Structure 1
Amino acid sequence: MNTYQTVKFPLSTEKAVRVMQAENKLIFVVDKKANKIEIRKAVEEIFKVKVVKINTLIDRDGNKRAYVKFSADHPAIDITTKLGLM
């Protein structure tokens, strides 16, 4: 699966901003068939950062979300600034 097909887009909801500031995590909407290993490779390749942990869930709309925790040397706020979300 292509890297840009795996990770569709980051969420910028109030909860996503709160999680980003408190836990150094970003929330991405990802392909429903992608597993954690594919998501990790895609995020590390796109943003050139170290991923520590990934939690996934499928919301009630049927979208798969990945909560991606970054290492301490790569703050999530820097990544969102590069994306233009903040």
Structure 2
Amino acid sequence: MSDPEFIAQLEGYGLTTAEVHFYRPDAPSLLQLFVWQAYDLAPNFPVLFEFLDHWRREIEAVLHSVRIAHERLIRPAEWRPIDGVISIQ
């Protein structure tokens, strides 16, 4: 059986990393950081937004900002033509 994360990558999912900056109720003057990572689809990021909705509903920390990085790990191969051939003897 294939790895579900590999199958997701073949379907277009890429590795998404989000830096979630937040304030906790017991320390409102302290900005804290949580790093979240999962496979998601850019540019809509449904998995990330589901996580952030859960955060808003269930966690008593107030979101300040979210910074997103995304990279498709499996993609078509890149190639470039070469103008000459070097022979090594």
**Fold match (TM-score > 0.5):** no
TM (normalized to structure 2)? 0.31
More strand by share: 2
